[in-house]
Amino acid sequence: MSMPASKRPSGNVTARRGSPLKLRIELVPKRLWGRNLRSNYGLGKQRWDKFRHKLIESNGARCAICGNTKKKLHGHEVWDYREKKTVGTAVLLRVEIVCIDCHDIHHWARTTKLFQGGRITSERYGLLRKHYRKINRCRQADIDRHFLHSLRIWSRQSKKRWKIDWGDFELPIAEAKATREAWAARNPDHPLIRHSAHTTWTG
Ligand SMILES: [Zn+2]
């Protein structure tokens, strides 16, 4: 039997029946923004795109969360944030193929910011909220409760210093870096060298 929202422990984000949420809001701590596989801290865009396309093919071109095969598919990095008092280690567990709707919900802070800035329509924002309710079989209020909970975690995690454990990607990243460094050594005056560690907003 599920407890009323007011009696649930604040750290316990579950669907109404008490099972873990199928579609979660997963905010990236601020100091880790841009530290992803797509960036030059990781594989770099070209290798990331190649890897993502292969993964989409091998997964039958369907969303790992809602099963959608019609929508645009993205590669979503699933991280485990292992925290100590002032520091932490972000461990990359796997990359999941998810549809654009599920992905926009994973990064709900970014989605909400885009909506507030007029770059996502209220119709689309409403459809995403509906998608969250449908997949998690929960109520409208649950997404707001989950978002506030995620923001509290994000705020705590954003104050910490992080080390990254790239897991199974350690070796391909080392290879990608070696290739980039060799190229940079051959092209010292290329403008891309000065912008090679560009970041992207992933929260
Ligand atoms: Zn989906």
For residue 86, which of 155, 32, 157, 153 has the smallest C-alpha distance?
157
Per-residue model confidence (pLDDT) at position 190 = 84
Contact 58/96 with Cβ under 8 angstroms? no
For residue 22, which of 125, 120, 114, 98 has the smallest C-alpha distance?
98
Residue 3 maps to a domain: no
Residue 69 maps to a domain: yes
Residue 14 maps to a domain: no
Residue 67 CA to ligand 1 centre (angstroms): 6
Instruction: Provide the Cα torsion 28, 29, 34, 40; round to 10°.
Output: -100
Contact 154/26 with Cβ under 8 angstroms? no
Residue 18 maps to a domain: no
The token pair at 12 is 């316990």
Count of the separate structural domains present in the chain: 1
Instruction: Lowest mean pLDDT of 46-55, 76-85, 180-189, name the range.
Output: 180-189
Residue 88 CA to ligand 1 centre (angstroms): 30
Per-residue model confidence (pLDDT) at position 187 = 87
Residues 100-155: tens digit of each pLDDT: 999 999 999 999 999 999 999 999 999 999 999 999 999 989 999 999 999 999 99
Residue 74 CA to ligand 1 centre (angstroms): 10
Residue 127 CA to ligand 1 centre (angstroms): 13
Residue 123 maps to a domain: yes
For residue 164, the cross-strand partners are 90
Residue 89 CA to ligand 1 centre (angstroms): 28
Residues 161-196: tens digit of each pLDDT: 999 999 999 999 999 999 999 988 998 888 876 655
Residue 82 CA to ligand 1 centre (angstroms): 26
Residue 134 maps to a domain: yes
Residue 22 CA to ligand 1 centre (angstroms): 10
Residue 203 maps to a domain: no
Q: Which residues surround ligand 1, an ion (CB under 5 A)?
A: 63, 65-66, 68, 99, 102
Average pLDDT of 81-107? 97
Residue 43 maps to a domain: yes
pTM higher than the cut 0.95: no
Counting Cα atoms < 13 Å in the Cβ hemisphere of 125 gives 15
Residue 65 CA to ligand 1 centre (angstroms): 5
Cα three-residue angle 175-178-179, rounded to 5 degrees = 85
Cα three-residue angle 9-140-10, rounded to 5 degrees = 10
Structural domain that includes position 50:
26-174
Contact 56/73 with Cβ under 8 angstroms? yes
